[in-house]
Amino acid sequence: MSGEPLLEIRGLKTWFESSDGVSRAVDGISYSVFDSETLAVVGESGCGKSVTAFSIMRLIPSPPGRIAGGEVLFQGRDLLKISSADMRAVRGNEISMIFQEPMTSLNPILSIGRQITEAILQHTDCSVAEARDRAIAMLGRVGIPAPERRIDEYPHQLSGGMKQRAMIAMALVCRPRLLIADEPTTALDVTIQSQILDLLAELRDEFKMSVLLITHDLGVVAEVADRVVVMYAGKIVETARVDDLFSHPLHPYTRALFRSLPSIVTPRGALPVIPGNVPSPLDFPSGCRFRTRCSIARAECATIEPELDELRPGHSVACPFTDATAAGSAT
Amino acid sequence: MSIEPEPSAAPAPRASRTPWQTLWLKLRKNRAAMLALYVLVALYMVAVFADFLAPYHYETLDQDRPFQAPMLLRIHIRDASGSLTRPFIYGTRVANPSLKLYEDDTSETFPIRLFGRGDRHDLLWLVPTDRHLFTVDAPARLYLFGSDQFGRDIFSRILYGSRVSLSVGLIGIAISTLIGMLVGGVAGYYGGAIDFLLMRVVELILALPSLYLILVLRQSFGSDLTSIQIYLLIVLILSFIGWASEARVIRGMVLSLKEQEYVVAAEALGFSRMWIVVKHILPNTLSFVIVTATLSVPFYILGEVALSYLGVGIQEPEASWGNMLRAAQNVSYLTEYTWVITPGFFIFAAVMAWNVFGDGLRDAADPRTER
Amino acid sequence: MKTFLLRRLLALLPLLLAVTFITQTLLVLAPGDYFSKLAENPSITAARLEMLRAQYHIDSENVFVRYGYWLKGAVQGDFGYSFKFQAPVWSLIADRIVNTLILAIGALIISWGLAIPLGVISAVKKDTVFDRLAGGLSFVGLSIPSVFFSLLMVFFAQKSGLFPVGGIHNQVYWQYFTPWQKVVDTLWHLVLPATVLGTIGMAQYMRQMRGEMIETLSQDYIRTARAKGLSERKVLFGHALGNAINPLITLFGFSFAYLLSGAFITEYVFSWPGMGRLTVEALLDKDEPLVMASIVMLTAMLVVGSLLADLLLAYLDPRIRLE
């Protein structure tokens, strides 16, 4: 990976305040997305991966949320510092987003067409008729049959997969440089899932955009990602190229994740699970946040906060005690 | 209530709280709701001790002094020389009997006596006594809120009237909640034809123009009733209208509750259906029922006011806040002797307190609200 | 849509039958009748009273006979003559319905015209001073008894002389007014009673509007709209308001129905010659044909009110419209 990153996150902190205290959902993370690549951010629910995505878009509801520090550099510009009017010009235009729940993410009382043309009219100077033509073309491109008819339909008339295709059309109609896809296939049937993933991969190449894919599903990661960021409890624990990660997972958490995957080569039986629960963001353990569930935890883990360390080229891990050479294959 | 340090200072372990404790803790943080609760406690205490707190009986009248202006602000605490003295009022001279004009007769002073003697009454309906919290000696009369067209003390009548107007709400919701819980519980649990039939009745009652139904019902009982009969009749009629909405919502809750495992388990153990409804399902609707009941108290209070104002409710000389307002129907009374609408402020205060308290209770009972 | 309308109108029939039958039963159960007052007059003999009762078909104590007689007339469109006014009941009711509609529409404009903007602003500015003030105000509106509020308004009218104390027209000059003056005069009489009813309704709908708006603003599609780069104003009015207002449409139907039937205390205090006052007075006088016709009319208006709300909802919400 060379050149300037398209998006660079530096030390981002997003905290939520409640009557019970401050919840540090995202606590000082940094990563970059380069041109035309797909970066997957994986982790269990509540690890802060979606909050990161919403922080990039500045869509964190405030209160209770606030971005407590860091920078989000998009093409060299810190999105956290620009005016809200400038930010609106970025949203849906240069950075778009699609969401987990296509059922609830479309406005039920507006037609699909109205919701897509709205985005076009917001960001470009074109006539309503022109916007409509572009919307129809885009609906056709994302694989919705009879788009000239479908454009006047309402969300409840579309199936789940069709809704997600419409969402993608809405997000891509202004040709963004970056698409943030927050669990885009989680709510869909398995057969539909791979169709949507294939579509995203196709469109990425066609539109020469980058994709930031938020998911908890390692299968999805294997299928579409170029690089992977693994998050745990608001921190990045490991980042690597996808093949490196799958062949040599380094962090104990990543390894545990792979072990808990069902596999066709290992004999059937009870899958190993990661012991314990995800810690509450209101009081994370001191030191390494994974130590309470870690199989190789030592006494020092409670006092040192592990930093990301590039153990292999392009492969960093936040655990000083991992054995880089003994990393077994999990695929 | 003892003064204790705020429990929120040190967060108590959450697991050990019962739902009721959680509710109370949430409610205590809601200042408006707590204020409303204090107002309600005060109002109901006043109603209980009305005969002792009121200087006169509600029937006591002085026909020579109708429409005398309120004296609340004409209680003096300084004598002629300007030094402090025990509170007193001046005597009254009738300046113009036809225009109902009165003036203070400063030659006579009447001190306000604590625990003085007055009309006989039974304290707490038990102890016969003639002591009142405060009185003045005859021939003076203490009209704190003025007197009405018959020269009766409006303050005393408001206190007596509070017994009627405030208790209507409590008894009314008790009856309608009972009916609502039973009908809703039975309809929801048994389902089928019983449910269908009961729900059509509920819909019919909800579809009727309710205030007219109340009036028609009231008319069908005639007018030669004793005051206690009329009182009971009003409560019953209002409850007869009021149970329907509660039944409908409770039915909905029961429908979802009856699929829960503990109900299925009780059924598998062979308990009778009625037993399960009464013992297992209804208690689970309790917090909801209490909230609904609290929020519907104003309906009963306002219902009594409407009926009595129209002249088919509590009859003279008995006092209720609604029938006291009847005096204001006469526009000249209303404009010349504006104090006749004083009971309106009390109705307003009581209804407001119930609404605010009920709203606070609803927020506190809602598991979704954090604070 | 046609079948839906037809079904709803057909459902009105059993409701009307049930309501009128219950009313008839209660009227028969009530001791005394319209002519009981005449009995106190010594010049009217018992025989004469019996004759009057027979003439007006209220001599039978059998509910079914009485109801049957009324129903037979009613299905032929003959609702009888008012005992008190000695006029066909419809001629009495027709005038009153117009007056009641004027009052109801005036109150609706005030209540919804204030409730929607105030509710939306409260939701958007949740937990600010504005929200708290509006919330407090809505509790006042919700709690003030209409009798008391009306009396306060009458007092205000009398003391300030700015508004008429009651009635719907200027009794003295009405007949000399030009049409335009008539409209102005009626509106002038309308202000206070419509304010009373409007304020009470406003309080309720504002709280509802605020709640729905807060709920809607937390929906996923609002996030989608923001992610498209729409301005907050477009998000609010283009996406949120339409969804938040739908549940209130049903309430709108109820509010209209409530105003048609529930305004009688206010009509009573302001001497507004509407349906409410007519019905209450007929009830107190036991003017049976008038009571029955009024009840039919009020029930029908209640149903039509909620029907109108359903139609409006179907028009606004594609999920219902397209079913």
**Angstrom distance (rounded) from CA C230 to CA A123:** 9
What ipTM is given for this predicted complex?
A: 0.83
Instruction: Answer whether residue A267 shows pLDDT above 60.
Output: no
Strand partners, B117: B131
**Angstrom distance (rounded) from CA B111 to CA B86:** 7
Residue in chain C closest to B345 (alpha carbons) equals: C148
pLDDT value at residue B171? 92
| Mean of pLDDT values over A144-161 | 87
Burial grade of B306 (CB within 10 A; 0-12, 13-18, 19 or more): buried
**Angstrom distance (rounded) from CA A189 to CA A191:** 6
Instruction: Answer whether residue B39 shows pLDDT above 90.
Output: yes
| Mean of pLDDT values over B327-335 | 82
The answer to whether the Cβ–Cβ distance between A108 and C243 falls below 8 Å is yes
- Quote the Cα angle for C125-C126-C131, to 5°: 80
Note whether A73 and A7 are within 8 A (CB).
yes
The overall longest dimension of chain A from CA atoms, in Å, is 67
**Angstrom distance (rounded) from CA A167 to CA A160:** 10
**Angstrom distance (rounded) from CA B205 to CA B189:** 21
The answer to whether the Cβ–Cβ distance between B341 and C23 falls below 8 Å is no
Q: Report residue B141: phi and psi, to 5°.
A: -130, 140
Q: Is B14 touching A (CB cutoff 8 A)? A: no
Q: Is B371 touching C (CB cutoff 8 A)? A: no
Query: Is the bond preceding residue A145 a cis peptide, omega within 30 degrees?
Result: no
Q: Is B370 touching A (CB cutoff 8 A)? A: yes
Query: If DSSP codes are grouped into helix, strand and coil, which group holds residue A165?
Result: helix
Condensed to tens digits (0 to 9), the pLDDT of residues B279-319 reads 777 777 777 788 888 888 988 898 888 888 888 888 888 88
Which of C224, C246, C316 is facing A99, going by the closest CB pair? C224
10-residue averages of pLDDT along chain C (323 residues): 75 82 83 74 76 74 83 83 85 87 90 91 89 90 89 88 81 80 86 90 88 88 88 87 83 74 81 85 84 84 78 77 61
Note whether B43 and B152 are within 8 A (CB).
no
Residue in chain C closest to B348 (alpha carbons) equals: C144
Q: Report residue B38: phi and psi, to 5°.
A: -65, -40
In sequence order, the 6+-apart residues with CB closer than 8 A to the CB of C295 are B209, B212, C19, C20, C23, C279
**Angstrom distance (rounded) from CA B236 to CA B343:** 24
**Angstrom distance (rounded) from CA C17 to CA C26:** 14
Condensed to tens digits (0 to 9), the pLDDT of residues A176-230 reads 899 999 888 887 788 888 888 888 888 888 888 999 999 888 888 888 889 999 9
Q: Which of B15-29, B174-188, B310-324, C137-151 has the lowest mean pLDDT?
A: B15-29
Q: In the numeric block, which tokens belong to residue C211? A: 């709640």
Q: Is C75 touching A (CB cutoff 8 A)? A: no
**Angstrom distance (rounded) from CA A159 to CA A149:** 15
Site of tokens 């729905």 = C212
pTM for this prediction: 0.80
**Angstrom distance (rounded) from CA B132 to CA B52:** 5
The continuous run of DSSP H or E covering B84 comes out as strand B84-96
Handedness of CA A160, A162, A165, A171 (dihedral sign): negative
Query: Is the bond preceding residue C14 a cis peptide, omega within 30 degrees?
Result: no
Query: Is the bond preceding residue A64 a cis peptide, omega within 30 degrees?
Result: yes
Instruction: Answer whether residue B371 shows pLDDT above 50.
Output: no
Query: If DSSP codes are grouped into helix, strand and coil, which group holds residue A17?
Result: strand
Report in angstroms the alpha-carbon separations of C253 from A167, C200, C213. Answer: 35, 16, 19
Contact list in A for residue C239 (CB cut-off 8 A) is 107, 110
- Quote the Cα angle for C175-C180-C184, to 5°: 90
**Angstrom distance (rounded) from CA B79 to CA B86:** 9
Average pLDDT, chain B: 80
**DSSP per-residue codes, C150-201:** HHHHHHHHHHH-SS-SS-SS-TTTGGG--HHHHHHHHHHHHHHHHHHHHHHH
Instruction: Answer whether residue B37 shows pLDDT above 90.
Output: yes
Condensed to tens digits (0 to 9), the pLDDT of residues B244-270 reads 888 888 888 877 777 777 777 777 787
Handedness of CA C79, C85, C86, C91 (dihedral sign): negative
pLDDT value at residue B11? 40
Note whether C261 and B209 are within 8 A (CB).
yes
In sequence order, the 6+-apart residues with CB closer than 8 A to the CB of A201 are A38, A224
For the beta carbon of residue C9, count every other beta carbon within 10 angstroms: 13
Closest Cα in chain A, distance from residue C233 (Å)? 12
- Quote the Cα angle for A138-A144-A147, to 5°: 65
Q: Which amino acid is at B36?
A: A
**Angstrom distance (rounded) from CA A67 to CA B104:** 71
Site of tokens 């999920």 = C319
Closest Cα in chain C, distance from residue B138 (Å)? 34
Query: If DSSP codes are grouped into helix, strand and coil, which group holds residue B2?
Result: coil
Contact list in B for residue A19 (CB cut-off 8 A) is 370-371
Report in angstroms the alpha-carbon separations of C184 from A193, C6, C157, C270. Answer: 66, 39, 17, 18
Which of C229, C231, C239 is facing A107, going by the closest CB pair? C239
Condensed to tens digits (0 to 9), the pLDDT of residues B75-99 reads 777 777 777 778 877 777 777 777 7
Which of A58, A103, A107, A179 is the best residue to mutate to test the C interface, defined by the most C CB atoms within 10 Å of its own CB?
A: A107
Chains that touch C (3 or more CB pairs under 8 A): A, B
**Angstrom distance (rounded) from CA A64 to CA C263:** 44
Q: Is B197 touching C (CB cutoff 8 A)? A: no
Burial grade of B237 (CB within 10 A; 0-12, 13-18, 19 or more): buried
Query: If DSSP codes are grouped into helix, strand and coil, which group holds residue A118?
Result: helix
Q: Report residue A224: phi and psi, to 5°.
A: -120, -15
Contact list in B for residue A18 (CB cut-off 8 A) is 370
Contact list in A for residue C230 (CB cut-off 8 A) is 88, 92, 118, 122
Chains that touch B (3 or more CB pairs under 8 A): A, C
pLDDT value at residue A325? 53
**Angstrom distance (rounded) from CA C171 to CA B184:** 52
pLDDT value at residue B3? 42
Report CA Rg, chain C: 24
Residue in chain C closest to B311 (alpha carbons) equals: C284
Instruction: Answer whether residue A328 shows pLDDT above 60.
Output: no
Could you tell me which of B306, B337, A163 has the C-alpha nearest to residue C276? B306
Handedness of CA C220, C226, C232, C238 (dihedral sign): negative
Which of C223, C226, C317 is facing A109, going by the closest CB pair? C317
Which of C216, C218, C221 is the best residue to mutate to test the A interface, defined by the most A CB atoms within 10 Å of its own CB?
A: C221
Contact list in A for residue B11 (CB cut-off 8 A) is 20
pLDDT value at residue A331? 37
In sequence order, the 6+-apart residues with CB closer than 8 A to the CB of A196 are A161, A164, A165, A168, A184, A185, A188
Q: Report residue B279: phi and psi, to 5°.
A: -90, -30
Query: Is the bond preceding residue B209 a cis peptide, omega within 30 degrees?
Result: no
Q: Is A227 touching C (CB cutoff 8 A)? A: no
Report in angstroms the alpha-carbon separations of A314 from A2, A8, B56. Answer: 12, 16, 93
* Length of chain B, in residues: 371
Instruction: Answer whether residue B2 shows pLDDT above 50.
Output: no
- Quote the Cα angle for B5-B9-B10, to 5°: 110
For the beta carbon of residue B83, count every other beta carbon within 10 angstroms: 8
pLDDT value at residue C307? 79
Contact list in B for residue C142 (CB cut-off 8 A) is 355
Contact list in C for residue B204 (CB cut-off 8 A) is 15, 18-19
The answer to whether the Cβ–Cβ distance between C322 and A92 falls below 8 Å is no
Q: Is B322 touching C (CB cutoff 8 A)? A: yes
Q: Is B95 touching C (CB cutoff 8 A)? A: no
Note whether A212 and A41 are within 8 A (CB).
yes
Q: Report residue C319: phi and psi, to 5°.
A: -65, -35
